[in-house]
C-alpha cells in the first residue's frame, strides 16, 4: 500500500485537523510543515513529528500532497508553487478572496498534473451527505427545493475578544467576514444539492451591536434544480438549531435534532439511518488513486456564482458590495483595494489560520 507524504503550508488552528485527518486514513502522513512564522512552524513540527521546511518552495518539492492552510488572502502564490511542482493539492476554503485570484487559480488548476480539491466539509459529513445521496438516488423524484438553517450562537464577548486580538479574522477585507468563514459551507451544500446557481439574493446581518463583522445571513438561491433557502446565525440572540431539507415531487427528506426523516407522498414517515461517506482526506486519496474528479474540485463554480449574486451588508460595511462565491469570496470594494491591503500585511496579520 502506498503511503503518501503530506506537507502543510500554514500552521494555524485548522492545520491540526488535517494532520489528524490524514493520520486516520492510515494511507498518508504529514512529513513537512512551513509557516511564515518560523517559531510557530518549529513548535508544530515537534508536536506533529514533522520536519520544518526552509521555504514553501522546498516543501512542495519534497512531498506528494500539499495542504494549503493559510488564510484566504494568502493562497494564490502557494497554489501556483504546488501546481508548478505537479503535486496534489488540498486547499482550504475559501480558495481566494477576490475574483482575479480565483480566476488565476482556476486557470492553473485546469493545467495541473495533480488532483486539486477544496476542503469544504459538508459533503463529507455523514448526515448532510446522506440527504444528498437520497436525493441523487431518485427516491424524491425531481428536486423542487432545498434549505439549510444553522443557528450556532456564540457569546457576544467572543466577538469582542476576537476584535481585540487585532488579527486578520477581524478585517472584513482580509477574511471576507463570517459569510466567508462560516456560511460558505452551507452555501456549498445547497449548491451540491441544487447544482449551478442562476441568481442569488442575500443579506449579511450585523446583529451584535458594535461588532464590525456580520454575524447572521439570509439568502435565497435560484439554481438549476430549484430554489434554495439559507438562514445562518452566529450571534447570541438565537437558540441552537440545525435543519437541512430537500423537497422533491415524490416526497422530502429532512435532517433535524431528532435524526433524518424521509416522507414520501401519502406514506408514513421513515427514519433513515445515517450513511458513512469517506472523510475528505480519504476522498482525496481515493481520487489520487482512481483518477476520479473530487466532489469539491469546482473552482469554476465560483465565477458563476459571483457573476449572478451580491449581498449588501447591513451595518458598518453598508456601502461595500459583497459577492458570494462557493469556492472563493470577494468581500471588498475592488481588486485594487484588495491588493493595496494585501501589500500592507504583516506577520501579525498572518498569525493564525
How far does the chain reach from its first CA to its final CA, in angstroms? 32
CATH code where residue 148 lies: 3.30.360.10
Which of the two residues, 203 and 50, has the higher pLDDT score?
50
- Closest by CA to 304, choosing from 182, 177, 195, 220, is 195
Q: What is the pLDDT of residue 160?
A: 76
Q: What is the pLDDT of residue 169?
A: 67
- Closest by CA to 188, choosing from 223, 236, 154, is 223
Residue 349 resides in a domain: no
57, 196: one domain: no
Q: Is the pLDDT of residue 293 over 60?
A: yes
Number of structural domains, the chain?
Answer: 2
Q: Is the pLDDT of residue 162 over 80?
A: no
Q: What is the pLDDT of residue 298?
A: 56
Q: What is the pTM of this model?
A: 0.82
User: What is the average pLDDT across 134-158?
Assistant: 93
Q: Given 100, 118, 136, which residue is the final one in a domain?
A: 118
Residue 289 resides in a domain: no
pLDDT above 90 as % of the chain: 61
Residue 286 resides in a domain: no
Residue 24 resides in a domain: yes
What does the block give as the cell for 184?
460558505
Answer whether 149's CB lies under 8 Å from 120's CB. Answer: no
Per-residue model confidence as pLDDT tens digits over 321-345: 333 333 323 322 333 333 333 333 3
171, 219: one domain: yes
100, 230: one domain: no
91, 154: one domain: no
- For the beta carbon of residue 44, count every other beta carbon within 10 angstroms: 22
263, 172: one domain: yes
261, 203: one domain: yes
Q: By residue range, what is the domain housing residue 68?
A: 4-118
249, 216: one domain: yes
Residue 350 resides in a domain: no
Residue 8 resides in a domain: yes
Q: Which of the four pLDDT bands, split at 50, 70 and 90, describes residue 209? A: confident
Spell 73-96 as b/e; 16+ CB within 10 A means b.
Answer: bbbbebbebbbebebbbbbbbbbb
DSSP state of 323: B
Q: What is the pLDDT of residue 314?
A: 34
- When mean pLDDT is compared across 40-49, 212-221, 228-237, the lowest value belongs to 212-221
Q: Given 67, 97, 118, which residue is the final one in a domain?
A: 118
Amino acid at each position: 500500500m502506498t503511503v503518501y507524504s503530506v506537507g502543510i503550508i500554514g500552521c494555524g488552528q485548522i492545520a491540526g485537523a488535517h494532520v489528524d485527518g490524514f493520520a486516520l486514513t492510515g494511507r498518508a502522513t504529514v512529513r513537512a510543515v512551513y509557516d511564515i512564522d518560523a517559531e510557530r512552524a518549529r513548535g508544530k513540527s515537534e508536536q506533529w513529528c514533522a520536519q520544518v521546511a526552509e521555504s514553501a518552495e522546498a516543501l512542495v518539492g519534497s512531498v506528494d500532497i500539499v495542504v494549503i492552510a493559510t488564510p484566504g488572502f494568502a493562497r494564490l502564490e502557494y497554489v501556483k508553487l504546488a501546481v508548478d511542482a505537479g503535486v496534489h493539492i488540498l486547499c482550504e476554503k475559501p480558495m481566494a478572496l477576490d475574483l482575479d485570484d480565483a480566476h488565476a487559480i482556476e486557470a492553473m488548476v485546469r493545467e495541473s498534473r495533480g488532483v486539486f480539491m477544496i476542503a469544504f466539509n459538508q459533503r463529507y459529513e455523514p448526515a448532510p451527505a446522506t440527504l444528498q445521496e437520497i436525493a441523487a438516488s431518485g427516491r424524491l423524484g425531481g428536486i423542487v427545493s432545498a434549505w439549510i438553517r444553522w443557528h450556532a450562537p456564540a457569546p457576544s464577548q467572543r466577538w469582542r475578544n476576537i476584535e481585540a486580538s487585532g488579527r486578520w479574522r477581524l478585517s472584513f477585507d482580509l477574511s471576507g467576514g463570517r459569510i466567508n468563514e462560516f456560511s460558505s459551507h452551507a452555501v456549498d451544500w445547497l449548491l451540491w444539492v441544487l447544482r449551478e446557481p442562476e441568481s442569488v439574493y442575500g443579506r449579511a446581518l450585523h446583529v451584535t451591536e458594535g461588532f464590525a463583522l456580520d454575524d447572521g445571513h439570509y439568502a435565497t438561491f435560484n439554481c438549476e434544480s430549484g430554489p434554495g433557502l439559507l438562514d445562518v446565525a452566529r450571534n447570541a440572540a438565537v437558540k441552537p438549531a440545525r435543519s437541512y431539507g430537500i423537497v422533491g415531487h415524490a416526497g422530502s427528506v429532512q435532517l433535524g435534532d431528532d435524526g433524518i426523516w424521509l416522507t414520501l407522498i401519502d406514506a408514513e414517515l421513515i427514519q433513515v439511518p445515517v450513511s458513512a461517506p469517506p472523510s475528505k482526506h480519504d476522498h482525496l486519496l481515493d481520487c489520487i488513486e482512481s483518477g476520479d474528479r473530487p466532489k469539491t474540485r469546482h473552482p469554476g463554480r465560483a465565477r458563476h456564482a459571483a457573476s449572478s449574486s451580491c449581498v449588501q451588508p447591513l451595518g458598518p460595511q453598508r456601502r461595500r458590495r459583497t459577492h458570494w462565491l462557493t469556492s472563493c469570496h470577494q468581500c471588498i470594494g475592488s481588486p485594487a483595494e484588495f491588493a493595496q491591503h494585501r501589500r500592507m500585511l504583516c506577520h501579525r496579520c498572518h498569525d493564525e489560520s
